[in-house]
Chain A
Amino acid sequence: MAIEKENFSRRDFIKNSSMFAGGVVFASLINPYKFVFATKQPKGKGKWYGIGIDIEKCIGCGSCARACKIENNVPDDPFFFRNWVEQYTITNDERILVSSPNGGIDGFKQPVPEEDIYKTFFVPKMCNHCAKSPCTQVCPVGASFESPEGLALVDQSYCIGCGYCVQACPYGCRYIDPVKGVVDKCTLCYHRLEKGLDPACMMACPTGARIYGDLNDKNSAVSLFLKEHNCAVLKPQLNTESKLFYNDLSQEVH
Chain B
Amino acid sequence: MDKIQSLYEALTKVDGFIYPNELALNWDMLIVMYPYITGLVAGAFILASLNRVFDIKALRPTYELSLLTALSFMLVATMPLITHLGQPFRFYEMLITPHLTSAMAIFGFVYLWYLMVVLLLEIWFDYRYDMVIWSREKKGFMKFFYKALTLWVSDTSPESRKTDEKIGYFITVVGIPSAFLLHGYVGFIFGSIKANPWWSTVMMPVIFLFSAMVSGIALVMFIYMVVSYLRKQKIDMNALDTIAKYLFYILIIDFTLESLDQIHRIYEADESFDILKILVRGKLFFTFFIMQIGVGVVIPLATLGFLQFKKPRVRIRKLIYWIISICVLVGIFYMRWNVVIGGQLFSKSFYGFTSYKVNLIGGSDVTLSLLWFIVPFFILAFLLWLLPPWKKAPPIEIPEE
- If A81-B21, A99-B17 touch, whether A238 touches B195 (CB-CB below 8 Å) is yes
B151 interface residue (CB < 8 Å to A): no
**A225 on the interface (CB 8 Å rule)?**
no
Known contacts: A35-B100, A37-B101, A139-B99. The answer to whether A162 contacts B4 by CB under 8 A is: no
B97 in complex: contacting residue of A78, A142, A177, A182, CB < 8 Å: A142
Partner of A9, one of B3, B27, B103, B166: B166
B94 touches A98 (CB 8 A): no
B26 within 8 A of A: yes
Alpha-carbon separation in the docked complex, A230 to B228 (Å): 73
Interface SS of chain A: loop
Residues of A124-157 whose CB lies within 8 A of B: 125, 134, 137-143
Per-residue interface assignment for chain A, residues 1 to 12, with 1 indicating a CB less than 8 Å from any chain B CB and 0 otherwise: 011110011001
Contact between A160 and B196, CB atoms less than 8 A apart: no
Q: Let me know if B174 and A5 touch, CB within 8 A.
A: no
Interface size on B, residues (CB 8 A): 59
Contact of B349 among A97, A167, A254 (CB under 8 A): A254
Q: How many residues of A contact B (CB 8 A)?
A: 61
Q: Is the CB of B101 within 8 A of A138?
A: yes
Q: How far is the CA of A173 from the CA of B19 in the complex (A)?
A: 8
- Complex Cα spacing A143 to B91, Å: 12
Closest to A175 in B: B21
Q: Indicate which residue in B20, B174, B348 contacts A170 across the interface (CB closer than 8 Å).
A: B348
- B193's partner among A103, A143, A167, A177 (CB-CB below 8 A) is A167
CB under 8 Å from chain B, chain A span 172-205: 172-178, 180-183
- Please report the C-alpha to C-alpha distance between residue A84 and residue B84 in the assembled complex, in whole angstroms: 28
* Interface 0/1 of B375-391, CB less than 8 Å to A: 00000000000000000
What's the nearest-Cβ distance from chain A to residue B395, in Å? 13
Measured in the bound complex, the distance between the Cα atoms of B287 and A113 in whole Å is 40
Say yes or no for B351: interface residue by CB 8 A criterion.
yes
What residues on A are CB-neighbors of B84 within 8 Å? 162
Provide the bound-state CA to CA distance between A171 and B22, in Å: 10
User: Does B286 sit at the interface, judged by CB under 8 A?
Assistant: no
B-contacting residues, A22-45, CB 8 Å: 35-38
Interchain CA distance A98-B98 in the complex, whole Å: 40
Chain B: CB-nearest residue to A181: B86
Do A9 and B173 have beta carbons less than 8 Å apart?
yes
Given A2-B401, A9-B169, A139-B102, CB of A78 within 8 Å of CB of B86: no
Task: Contact check, B100 vs A170: say whether CB atoms are below 8 A apart.
Answer: no
Taking CB atoms, residues of chain A closer than 8 Å to B347 are: 172
Pick from B26, B94, B98, B170: contact of A163, CB under 8 Å: B26
Does B316 touch A at the CB level, under 8 Å? no
Residue B107 interfacial (CB < 8 Å) = yes
A125 to chain B, nearest CB (A): 8
User: Which residues of B in the span 124-180 have a Cβ within 8 Å of any Cβ on A?
Assistant: 165-166, 169-170, 173-174
Assess the A181–B104 pair: CB atoms within 8 A: no
Q: Determine whether B233 belongs to the interface, using a CB cutoff of 8 Å to chain A.
A: no
Closest to A4 in B: B401
Known: A172-B22, A254-B349, A254-B351. A8 touches B166 (CB 8 A): yes
**B-side contacts of A5, CB under 8 Å:** 165-166, 169, 398
Query: In whole angstroms, what is the CA distance A166 to B93 when docked?
Result: 19
Asked whether B173 lies within 8 Å of A164 as measured between CB atoms, the reply is no
Q: Which of B7, B81, B98 contacts A78 (CB 8 A)?
A: B7
Contact pick for B101, options A36, A97, A181, CB 8 Å: A36
Interface digits, B183-215 against A, CB 8 Å rule (1 contact, 0 not)?
000000100111110000000000000000000
**A169: chain B residues within 8 A (beta carbon):** 195
Flag whether A122 is at the interface (Cβ < 8 A). Answer: no
**A168 interface residue (CB < 8 Å to B):** yes
> Is B4 a contact partner of A84 (Cβ separation < 8 A)?
no
With A134-B195, A178-B4, A182-B86 as known contacts, state yes or no: A13 contacts B104, CB within 8 Å. no
* Chain B positions within 8 Å of A4 at CB level: 401
In the complex, the answer to whether B7 meets A238 with C-beta atoms within 8 Å is no
When chains A and B are docked, how far (Å) is the Cα of A161 from the Cα of B16?
28
A212 within 8 A of B: no
- Is B85's CB within 8 Å of the partner chain A? yes
Instruction: Give min CB distance, A85 to chain B, whole Å.
Output: 10
Chain A residue with Cβ nearest B31? A163
Interface residue from A158, A159, A170 paired with B86 (Cβ < 8 Å): A159
Q: A159-B86, A161-B85, A169-B195 are in contact. Are A141 and B99 (CB under 8 A)?
A: yes
The answer to whether A103 and B103 have CB atoms under 8 Å apart is no
CB distance from B338 to the nearest CB of A (A): 16
With a cutoff of 8 Å between Cβ atoms, the chain A residues found around residue B11 in the complex are 78-79
Q: Is A77 an interface residue (CB 8 A)?
A: yes
Chain A residues contacting B105 (CB-CB under 8 Å) are 140-141
Cβ-defined contact, B195 with A168, below 8 A: yes
- Contact of A224 with B by CB under 8 A: no
Using CB atoms, name the residue of chain B closest to A2. Answer: B401
Most A-side CB within 10 Å, residue of B23, B99, B166: B99
Given contacts A5-B166, A36-B101, contact A84 B173 (CB under 8 A): no
Assess the B20–A172 pair: CB atoms within 8 A: yes
Given contact pairs A100-B20, A175-B21, enumerate 10 new A-B contacts (beta carbons under 8 Å). A79-B23, A80-B21, A140-B98, A140-B107, A161-B87, A162-B84, A167-B26, A167-B195, A170-B195, A254-B350
A-B contact pairs, 12 of them (CB 8 A): A2-B401, A8-B166, A9-B166, A78-B23, A138-B103, A139-B99, A140-B107, A160-B86, A170-B194, A171-B348, A178-B24, A181-B86
Report B's interface with A, CB cutoff 8 A.
Answer: 1, 3-4, 7-8, 11, 16-24, 26-27, 81, 84-88, 90-91, 93-94, 97-105, 107, 165-166, 169-170, 173-174, 189, 192-196, 343-344, 347-352, 398, 401
